[in-house]
Structure 1
């Protein structure tokens, strides 16, 4: 597939035109990753104010990449390859669309069905779900073989990992392509079969929930619990600070799903439920297990 209007430096393994459904923190990060690597990107949001905010997030992230010198090019050229819309029909010419709406099965399933209706034959569809069953989401679609999980990590620009989650019907061709896309984005693919929490969320949440229980029981302070993992096990960030970055509401949703599928070891601690009820969601709200107001 050729397009003379596309930049000559576009990696051959990268989709030429990429759609992202949802322009929040994760969606904007995914759009940014494809944009700085030369693809044309279309972000679709639910309304005009959300679309405007999504554009600002992606362009701001691209500007910071240029300032840091982590990518080449200029902002005007990148902006010319970014489209932001409120119309699903604008996904019609995309080779790949990545869904990045909140972690709710019915919401994701409905959104994926709407996107699939717009895609041409040969285009692929992916979900950025961090825990929901890719196989069960695929059952909602007409072309389950063309659907895969692409679990990006927050913050997307700094993360070196994408978890490629294969559903029961994901084609071998798509599985291979997803690994190639990951490499073209300068990241490493971890390929897992569809299972509750996959590999990353299951392990990450297990550690985080135990850290919360330790805090709840007064074993140590949040600072010292995190320091034990950072200094003792060389984790770049402690489990409680990571939870603040991910969002306590997001972690609670994943824990509830894992609790329902894998049993009591993933039961959310009361401290997590209480903080979410108070609106202490982590970095995005200014307070979680740590104070982010400054």
Structure 2
């Protein structure tokens, strides 16, 4: 199957980034968010990014005009009726994702692939809520999407090889480096990375060191480009907590028990960069 038109559901940071790389790869793109303010903000964010690229000579004015001509940004999910793939990038909640994918399965044409940008949840469970389990899979991008090269491609139990290969080719055309992973909580990157951030949060909660000292130690002592708590702030502490809770539930292993530091931050509304405060203050 050849992908010509891409739908992206959810116009937050991830969805806007996915729409950006899709448009720049030459696809017609429909970016939808049910919240008008978020959809409008995404359009402005993309135009700002392209204006900056134009200023630096990375793209031409003709390129920017072409990008805008191939991008539809709005709130009407019915715009997905003729797309070849929908990449869902909504909140990391299994019930919401199942509901949305069921709706997409009923709305989209029979051959449309449904991809979820989940960072950890069960592809098979999401697929089972649709009328096309063989055409549902994970397509996990990393933040910031225009910069990060990796895309994890995760088939569900009944996803066909053709579906997986089509999405791998799509990711490559977007300029990404796809890796194929079997379905398992967290897939590859988050299975390794989230417990690392969780343990750093435990060290912080126990008062062993400050956020600054923990991050400094991991950067200078382990060669990490970014400290684990700064990374949690960038990802979103609420998202990291949700993944920790999912791991703990799925594996029933105490090593995945979420740090109380994450719980306290979320209860306080300190979710990281997106709220202006997390382990660090961005105000």
When normalised by structure 1's length, the TM-score is 0.90
Pair 1:240-2:240 in alignment: no
- Which of the residues 37, 40, 53 maps onto 1:52? 40
CA shift in 2, pair 1:138/1:281, >3 Å: same
User: How big is each residue's C-alpha offset from its partner over 1:217-253, in whole Å with a ceiling of 9 and x where there is no partner?
Assistant: 2222212222232233332211111100011111111
Q: 1:173-217 CA distances to partner (integer Å, 9 max, x unpaired)? A: 111122211211111112111111111112111100010111122
- Correspondence 1:6-155 to 2 at 5 A: 15-69=3-57, 74-155=63-144
1:8-32 Cα offsets, whole Å, 9 max, x none, are xxxxx7x321000010111111101
Residue 5 of structure 1 corresponds to which residue in structure 2?
Answer: none
CA contact (8 A) 2:101 2:127 kept: no
1:225 equivalent in alignment to 2:214: yes
Indicate the structure with greater helix content: 2
2:259 to 269, 274, 278: 269
Q: Secondary structure at the match of 2:168?
A: helix
Contact 2:30 2:80 survives alignment (8 Å): yes
After TM superposition, the structure 1 stretch with the greater mean CA deviation from structure 2, 23-32 or 218-227, is 218-227
Aligned length: 281
Compute the displacement of 1:33 (Å).
1.0
Alpha-carbon shift at residue 270 of structure 1 (Å): 1.1
- 8 Å contact kept, 1:161–1:188: yes
* C-alpha distance in structure 2 between counterparts of 1:288 and 1:19, whole Å: 32
- Between the aligned partners of 1:235 and 1:163, the Cα distance in structure 2 is 21
Give the secondary-structure state (helix, strand or coil) at the position aligned to 2:159. coil
Match of 1:282 in 2: 272
| Structure 1 unaligned blocks of 5 or more | 2-12
Unpaired segments ≥5 residues, structure 2: none
Q: CA deviation at 1:71?
A: 5.1
